[in-house]
Structure 1
């Protein structure tokens, strides 16, 4: 079965997990607010591989959270993933950060709206249904009192992620439900990565870049990727 290493560095959480197909075997995380990625990422990689009793050469693929999120965090994660893929001659898989974040909750009904904190009153966000199917594109959105009201007309709206606190202070509607304290983790990446591995939905190692979103909006013409 496929051994897949998953790296999540889009936010403050430095998270590394190792999956054997769809089974979580080992995970290491540190959500220090000062961004510990540069110091801890490779240590965590060594630890999860050792815990599983394998070596790096046993890996079949590496998955990385592609964004949107912190510019520095994404650069560190992608650079590390690409370096390992080149060295081991294995494929690179990218996982949209908001998609894996959305999978941290499984409401019976309603919409799931993951929120990644951006500067000031801005968030990176997308909309998913209760089966985690994306219903609206990923955007950078300024949070105002009337933000997301159109979604509330359709039923419950479940907010989670690092942008939740700023939204909870501004948004008011009986259908709005907030899940504080949740943030992107490599734990939710494993099954998504294995699905892509089976479909051979791999990235081009030479040209793959993180999905910064703001750069794409600001400058235009840049393909945000799959």
Structure 2
């Protein structure tokens, strides 16, 4: 089953293609161009490179958050359009789970952290079983880095763009228990999104056509509307 995975939750956009358990191709790019300007071109370049048309894709997967509100909406809208054009199904996956999947067989706890601004991070805790199966220990959450480290017991591996902002806090609070993923595992990948999506698609856990991003935190517009009764 060929699944195209798409991640636009961070500045590092990524598109990956798998054929069951075999990776076929991946294209990741971090440049100061919006996902809306580059995503369809990236998909086209990847598919032309492996000589597969959209009609050769059996299903799609997209990371639906948490992450950049705008990026998530772009990724989700793109996948909905691809589903409509091809008649294929899609699965939604957690951005943090896809990021944690970059660290298979890790013997430590895995803690993906994405910078949520406002001195907070999007995060969750995971653990790998002996067979490499990823197990979730917490729900996705938005939390201060200081409160996050209080939840962690024992050695942990951090990954995600939040590391670049809060590495010093993690090191100072956790000492030798704080470890950091290598650069190739620091961002969500299209292949990881596709792998998680493949599992869901095979179980029939498809995304509803009205699916929305998992923001975890309310947008500024929602907060302003609640407090002022207006978006202005």
TM bin, normalised by shorter chain, reads: 0.7 to 0.9
1:1-80 map, 5 Å: 2-32=1-31, 34-80=32-78
Q: What are the superposed Cα offsets for residues 134-162 of structure 1, whole Å, 9 maximum, x if unpaired?
A: 00111100122x6423423xx21111111
**TM-score under structure 1 length normalisation:** 0.87
Q: What are the superposed Cα offsets for residues 65-114 of structure 1, whole Å, 9 maximum, x if unpaired?
A: 11100011001100000011011111111111000100112354221110
Contact 1:14/1:30 (<8 A) preserved: yes
SS of the residue corresponding to residue 138 of structure 2 reads strand
**TM-score under structure 2 length normalisation:** 0.85
Q: Comparing both structures, which one devotes a greater share of its residues to helix?
A: 2
Contact 2:90/2:197 (<8 A) preserved: no
**In structure 2, distance between residues paired with 1:185 and 1:6:** 8
Q: Which has the higher contact order (CA 8 A, sep 6+)?
A: 2
Quote the residue 2:190 is aligned against.
186
Contact 2:6/2:194 (<8 A) preserved: no
Structure 1 segments of 4 or more deviating over 6 A?
none
Quote the residue 1:90 is aligned against.
88
> How much is the aligned-residue C-alpha RMSD, in angstroms?
1.8
SS of the residue corresponding to residue 136 of structure 1 reads coil
Name structure 2 gaps, 5 residues minimum.
224-232
Quote the residue 1:141 is aligned against.
143
1:57-206 map, 5 Å: 57-106=55-104, 108-131=106-129, 132-144=134-146, 147-152=148-153, 155-171=154-170, 172=172, 173=174, 174-179=176-181, 181=183, 182-205=186-209
**In structure 1, distance between residues paired with 2:104 and 2:46:** 27
Contact 1:14/1:35 (<8 A) preserved: no
